[in-house]
Amino acid sequence: MKKILILFVTFLLFSDVFLAQKDVYYDILASKGNPSIQKSNQNRWDKLKTGMTLQNNDKFKLSEGDYVVLAGSNGKTIELKNPGDYSKEDIDKLLQGKKKSMTSKFSGYIVEQIKGQKGIIEKDDYRDNMSVTGSVERGFASSSASTSQMIAKITVASPRRINILSNSYRFSWKPQENQQEYLIVVTDRFDEEIHKQAITGNEYVFDIDKLKLNKDEYYFVKVIAQKNNNLKSDDYCFMFLSNESFKQINDSLEALKEELDDTNSAFANLMYANFFEQNYMFEQAEQHYKMALQLEPEVEEYKNLYTAFMSRMNKQP
């Protein structure tokens, strides 16, 4: 009787795994080359395109130079570039036992962006994480630099909030017609003015030592036209990270890497880019977007992701 019970429990466990795999489907997230797909109810092979879905008994084929990224409904993702025939069941086996807690989160952001949904720094849950250290409450309508509701605003080439790893920060803005002289105003999180300086040109470099700024504290900066005090930018928030703060961020990055089979792939770099973007480290995010494009320059979806990122930064690709 005991043996029968053990066999029954074992059967149920394997049945659950089998049924769970049967329920999983995969979206074609990105592709290049000429991969083809054969749906289970068809005899012909069609060109595999981004946006298609791989379901039970479907097959797809990769030739030399082809590349696809699949995003599973279970949160797991996989990059494939080796020539050969693959079934949906083959993908299930390749991903079986693969960790997904971190990769699922960041690949999810990428899936949403590729499908045309909001970028990571535009998401409400992303904005809600702004109060990491101190008060960051200046009535930000958006974490991006969009000021479409405002009139006569100075446009800054930066997101509204940024964390900085180095000891300097280059703050620049779009030059204004008939305006060569500007006033830089820096305040702390209590709105106390701590630095004011008149400059010529359209950029200013913050030096943490010269301005005697503290690490792990948020500061706010705005630029005002000297000849027209009504012409100014919004408040922009920045923080210089301490070694301790960066170690916490880097520990999370290492946890993400542990879940990846190939830590240097194009899709891995996209996840790193989204990771750094979530942590407001946009210089590092930009580097990884560029690395993904260097590795897979022909993937149109990656080009679009990079263009969208640069748009959020108020920069040109």
Q: For residues 192 and 142, is the Cβ–Cβ distance under 8 A?
A: no
Query: What domains lie within the chain, and their CATH numbers?
Result: 2-98 (no CATH), 101-317 (2.60.40.10)
The letter for the amino acid at 96 is Q
- Kindly report whether the global pTM for this prediction surpasses the value 0.85: no
Q: What share of the chain has pLDDT > 70, as a percent?
A: 82
Write down the residue that tokens 């100075």 correspond to. 154
Rounded Cα–Cα distance for residues 219 and 133 (Å): 11
Write down the residue that tokens 């640069």 correspond to. 310
pLDDT of 66 > 60? The answer is yes
The predicted structure's pLDDT at residue 74? 87
In the DSSP assignment, the letter for residue 12 is H
For 172, half-sphere exposure in the C-beta direction (CA atoms, 13 angstrom radius) is 9
pLDDT of 129 > 70? The answer is no
pLDDT of 155 > 50? The answer is yes
Rounded Cα–Cα distance for residues 1 and 180 (Å): 90
In the DSSP assignment, the letter for residue 173 is B
Mean pLDDT estimate for the chain: 84
The letter for the amino acid at 162 is I
pLDDT of 87 > 90? The answer is yes
Question: With bands split at pLDDT 50, 70 and 90, how would you rate the model's confidence at 133?
Answer: very low
Which residues does residue 198 pair with via DSSP β-bridges, in sequence order? 183
The predicted structure's pLDDT at residue 297? 96
Write down the residue that tokens 């049967």 correspond to. 22
